[in-house]
Amino acid sequence: MAYDCYCAICGAGFSGMYIESLSETAIERRRRWIEKRCRALEAGQDISQIPAEENDAPVRSYDPRLVDTDTISWLYKVYCLGSHPPPSGTSGTNKAFISGPGYYADIGEVVVKPGNDLYQPSSRTTFMCYEEGTEEASGPVLPFHWSCLEILTRALTGTTEITNLNLSALYRVMSALTNHSSLHLHYGDDISRSQGRYWECIPGVEYGAKHPTETPMVDELFRNLSTNEKFTRPAATIELRDRRPTDVFGQLPLEIAQQICMFLPGAALKNLAQASLSVQTITQDNSFWKRFMQWDMPWFWELQTLPPQKTVNYKSLYLWLNKMTTPRYGMDDLTLMGVANRRRIWAVCDQLASRYHQSTRQNPVEAMKWGRD
């Protein structure tokens, strides 16, 4: 029986990506479809249970204004992570390998053609995804998109070098989570709804098909920060008057208090600032928000090389970026849709990170960055 398998890292498919025709009728039908489901989500309803209106056929394709055949071509290239048994007659251990690129051939099969690329075999090879081993691999083979592995590498090692991954440890961790067509991980509600027997192109979830690492619009956005009035408004100042911070944060050296704040998630920092006058004062520093933004958004690596811009209000920039890159149904801002997908994938990588670091007995990337044990 035919069925689809999905990327072990991002959860998206490798085939069946349908794009709607660019017509006024189709666009209007799509708009009604998405608006109805956005209202349902706001009301706390399950959008998968919403019946189609009479005379309104289901929409099962992506918006041509948001994606096209070129921008989704990355989804069709399949790589896989597997494990080779030791040579016959030896007592060695299994060794993990990467193979690809190839294509998904249905019923769980990935076909990799021979070639001269680093990970291509010398002859045509067929692997079975998520199933028991074959002659080519001693256990389940885990399919993935290359850009997803690049994101996973950054999340696990803090580098872009695939060679820094312990592939055998990674394979052990991931293969222990296999199910019939993906891993037992939370890929996000929108992606979970798309994963059926076949991949479903749900309108309003185009961000899940956007390339997560090729994001040229981000460069243009950052080049124009100093001329964008959203990010150049002066920061609000606190009028202390006769008030003096008396909470515990006010009794700490400024550097220590700031570093504690840096460890908090954005929402928690906002709540703490509302409750603590000391934290309000600490977070008035514009340079604090630039550092916090870089720390709190490790998946937004373009921020790490953002040049200093004195006129930019980094708190405003952080709050805007945090909102615009939060994966959500109905996203239609082309500038940051790819980064939103990257953020979603990074959250999946975080679910693998603790298992991987336990297996390799390595410190997490954040601990290495901050010198923690």
Tens-digit pLDDT profile for residues 23-57 = 888 888 888 889 999 999 988 888 877 776 656 67
Residue 16, domain member (yes or no): no
Residue 240, domain member (yes or no): yes
User: Which phi and psi (to 5°) does residue 354 adopt?
Assistant: -65, -40
pLDDT bucket at 91, cuts 50 / 70 / 90: low
Alpha carbon 349 to chain centroid, angstroms: 8
Domains in the chain: how many in total? 1
pLDDT at position 340 is 97
Cα gap 99→243, rounded to integer Å: 64
Specify the 3-state DSSP secondary structure of 124.
coil
Residue reference for tokens 């290495």: 368
Please name which of 303, 286, 315 lies closest in space to residue 343, comparing C-alpha atoms.
303
Cα gap 204→241, rounded to integer Å: 49
Residue 313, domain member (yes or no): yes
Residue 15, judged by CB atoms within 10 A of its CB (0-12, 13-18, 19+), counts as middle
Please name which of 32, 25, 24 lies closest in space to residue 203, comparing C-alpha atoms.
32
Residue 360, domain member (yes or no): no
Cα gap 348→62, rounded to integer Å: 23
Cα gap 340→324, rounded to integer Å: 8
Q: Which residue range(s) make up the domain with 266?
A: 216-329
The structure's pTM equals: 0.90
Tens-digit pLDDT profile for residues 327-362 = 999 999 999 999 999 999 999 999 999 999 998 887
Residue 285, domain member (yes or no): yes
Determine the average pLDDT of the residues in 313-327. Answer: 93
Cα gap 293→274, rounded to integer Å: 19
372 has pLDDT over 70: no
107 has pLDDT over 90: no
Residue 297, domain member (yes or no): yes
Residue 281, domain member (yes or no): yes
pLDDT at position 283 is 81
pLDDT bucket at 371, cuts 50 / 70 / 90: very low
User: What's at 57, amino acid-wise?
Assistant: A
Structure tokens at 363: 């410190």
Alpha carbon 345 to chain centroid, angstroms: 2
Q: Beta-strand (E) ranges in the chain? A: 78-84, 95-104, 109-112, 125-128, 142-144
pLDDT at position 242 is 56
Q: Are 86 and 93 in contact (CB under 8 A)?
A: yes
Q: Are 93 and 162 in contact (CB under 8 A)?
A: no
Residue 7, domain member (yes or no): no
- The better pLDDT of the pair 156, 242 is held by 156
Q: Which segment of 18-27, 241-250, 269-278, 279-288 scores lowest on mean pLDDT?
A: 241-250
